[in-house]
Chains A and B, each alone.
Chain A
Amino acid sequence: MATIVHAIIGYFVLLLTVRILSRRPGGQLTLFEFVIIFLVGGVAIGATVGRDHSITNCATAIITIGFLHRLVSWVKEKSPRMGAILDGTPLVLLKDGYWQREIMRGMRIDPEDVMAAARSKQVRSIFDVKYAILERNGTISIITHDRSAR
């Protein structure tokens, strides 16, 4: 019983903490983020299963977290608003040759991050980029002036 309650609380505390850590440009984990994942994961395990390391207790915790994940996915599917709350919405970083400074500042993204995303799509100059869009998964989509999404 306690394990289920701890798993539910832990899941939502982790969800909130991870959600308010801004999306990383590139959508890839840096070494810095690996530190957070391993440390937070280790702390959460201790609080969830406590001293009871039995297979029964661990399986109960895993099943509870799996169930919560399914429930949250279902809620996201049913309610676009909840989807926006849990995953955020895409954001335009560059539009028609202008940086969207409010978004860049709010999401802590530098022009270098956008240029890195452009280079990875074989775009040579920032002047070729018509739109740069920060996606919900943290990747940056680049659309060039020739309107071909890459």
Chain B
Amino acid sequence: MTQAVAKKPVGDSVAKVNEEVAVGEDLGFQRSWWRFERIVWACFVMIIALDLAGAFGRGPLAHARISSADHSLIVRYERIQRTGTPSMMSIRLDAGAVRDGEATLFVSDKLVSALGAQRIIPQPATTRVGNGGLTYTFPVTNPPSTVRIELEPPGPGRFPFEISAGPSASVTADVWVVP
């Protein structure tokens, strides 16, 4: 047995041109759409310009440099980073941060967890856990020396971090991670 098919009478609601051809043209809508298109293209240009400048990371605006009050610790990093994209943090230790041929470097937990520290170059001689972070020691023969930490943030957000090389050489800063 066949079932009845739902039916609807044919109507002619489509706007006509010259009362002759049903086109459904809506010039008012089209003009609004063209205005919207111009705004979107302007936004696209702005996004590209901001990206080239580094506002979304990997560019001049993203590069940052901070130093401790006594300038014995200088950190170069990217203040704007991208989720899952590697970046390198460079920590320069001057003679003031080295005692008895050894530099002690403290990095806060956020640098390891939220900013995804993948590896540290060179390998530290010792690593201690505590005080809300990790403390590394490096043998230093002829300062200044540079320690590099490879970061790869696992998720977006704003993450403050702290790095210190002894009681007088300490820096704090924020990193913004975009999606």
Q: How far is the CB of A94 from chain B (nearest CB, A)?
A: 11
Q: Which residues of B contact A20 (CB under 8 A)?
A: 37, 40-41
The digit string for A33-47, where 1 denotes a CB below 8 A from any CB of B, is 000000000000000
Known contacts A20-B40, A50-B84: A91-B30 contact under CB 8 Å = yes
A50 to B18, CA, bound (A): 54
Q: How far is the CB of B165 from chain A (nearest CB, A)?
A: 34
A16 to B30, CA, bound (A): 16
Segment from A55-63, A66-74, A82-90 that makes contact with B: A82-90
Give the residue name and chain of the A residue nearest to B14 (CB): A90
A103 to B17, CA, bound (A): 15
Contact B30 A106 (CB under 8 A): yes
Contact A89 B21 (CB under 8 A): no
Is B100 on the interface with A (CB-CB < 8 A)? no
Is A104 on the interface with B (CB-CB < 8 A)? no
**Contact with B25, one of A16, A50, A91 (Cβ below 8 angstroms):** A91
Contact B26 A89 (CB under 8 A): yes
Q: What secondary structure prevails in chain A residues at the interface with B? A: mixed
The digit string for A115-144, where 1 denotes a CB below 8 A from any CB of B, is 000000000000000010100000000010
**Contact with B26, one of A51, A84, A106 (Cβ below 8 angstroms):** A84
A16 to B33, CA, bound (A): 12
Contact A88 B33 (CB under 8 A): yes
A92 to B23, CA, bound (A): 8
Known contacts A95-B17, A95-B18: A133-B23 contact under CB 8 Å = yes
Known contacts A50-B84, A95-B17, A131-B21: A89-B30 contact under CB 8 Å = yes
Is A96 on the interface with B (CB-CB < 8 A)? yes
Q: Which residues of B contact A91 (CB under 8 A)?
A: 25, 30
Contact B24 A89 (CB under 8 A): yes
Contact B34 A106 (CB under 8 A): yes
Q: Which residues of B contact A131 (CB under 8 A)?
A: 17, 21, 23
**Contact with B17, one of A16, A84, A92 (Cβ below 8 angstroms):** A92
Q: Which residues of A contact B24 (CB under 8 A)?
A: 89-90
Give the residue name and chain of the A residue nearest to B23 (CB): A90
A68 to B59, CA, bound (A): 34
Q: How far is the CB of B72 from chain A (nearest CB, A)?
A: 39
A42 to B68, CA, bound (A): 44
A16 to B23, CA, bound (A): 25
A-B contact pairs, 11 of them (CB 8 A): A84-B29, A88-B30, A89-B26, A89-B29, A90-B23, A91-B25, A92-B25, A95-B17, A96-B18, A131-B21, A143-B21
Please give the residue numbers on chain A whose beta carbons come within 8 Å of chain B beta carbons, in ascending order.
16, 20, 50-51, 84-85, 88-92, 95-96, 103, 106, 131, 133, 143
